[in-house]
Amino acid sequence: MEIGYARVSTGDQNLDLQEQALRGAGVEKLYSDRASGGAVSRPGLDQALSALKPGDVLVVWRLDRLGRSLPHLIDVVSALGAKGIGFRSLADGIDTTTAQGKLVFHLMGALAEFERALISERTQAGLRAAKARGARLGRRPVLAPAQIAHAQKLVADGESPTAVARTLQVGRATLYRALRAAEQNRPGDLASRLSRRNSKVRSDQ
């Protein structure tokens, strides 16, 4: 059985052109969505994929009607192939039920893998460059109990929150959260000291 899937973006006119092409190609069931290419939720596509059985063929008008990107398209069609389900794209002349169509699709798969590798390489290069510039990578560090105790003592001795945060190499907001969490059983004590220190720093600037 050949099952068709059509999709238009919200701003497109209608599905008529795709549906006519798909019915003209002999599809017996037709499912559709009105959603942008990047939309995660596609109930029509979900229904089409659920209806497919081994030996069936999923037919679309054009490749971009099915996949959000080339890698996503390859993943979807590869998953279908693993279940014994074929794939046809009318406008692109791709039919994985033929030897030529399989070859074309394998070439597309190689291109998708190449694209993934390029993205990964650029990401790693960006991280290395950021690290070389001294940028902090990943989440801000969480203060250990000993560091929090040390910070409490510094604040109690009159150090400003900014100076304490600089000493511990964390942001001031991180310091505030850690100290307030540690002092939650004594509301107002640390908060008032921090507020006074911060106000003094601003007034001195």
Residue 183 lies in a domain: yes
Residue 140 lies in a domain: no
Residue 130 lies in a domain: no
Residue 139 lies in a domain: no
pLDDT one-digit tens code per residue, 99-130: 888 888 777 777 667 666 767 777 777 777 77
Q: In terms of pTM, does the model score above 0.95?
A: no
Q: Number of structural domains, the chain?
A: 2
Q: Say which CATH number the domain at 64 has.
A: 3.40.50.1390
Here the tokens at position 165 are 């945060």
Residue 136 lies in a domain: no
Same domain, 153 and 73: no
Same domain, 57 and 155: no
- Residue range(s) defining the domain that contains residue 176: 145-204
Q: Cα(95)–Cα(97) distance, rounded to whole angstroms?
A: 5
**184 contacts 152 by C-beta, under 8 angstroms:** no
Same domain, 150 and 109: no
Which residues have a Cβ under 8 Å from the Cβ of 60 and sit 6 or more positions away? 4, 5, 6, 22, 66, 87, 88, 89, 90
Catalytic (active site) residue 89: no
Residue 119 lies in a domain: no
Same domain, 99 and 151: no
Catalytic residue, chosen from 9, 120, 195, 199, is 9
Same domain, 91 and 187: no
pLDDT at residue number 192 = 52
pLDDT one-digit tens code per residue, 5-60: 998 876 556 788 899 999 999 999 999 988 765 556 789 999 999 999 999 999 99
Same domain, 167 and 106: no
Amino acid at 1: M
Same domain, 91 and 154: no
**92 contacts 63 by C-beta, under 8 angstroms:** yes
Helices 189-204 and 161-168 cross at an angle (nearest 10°) of 100
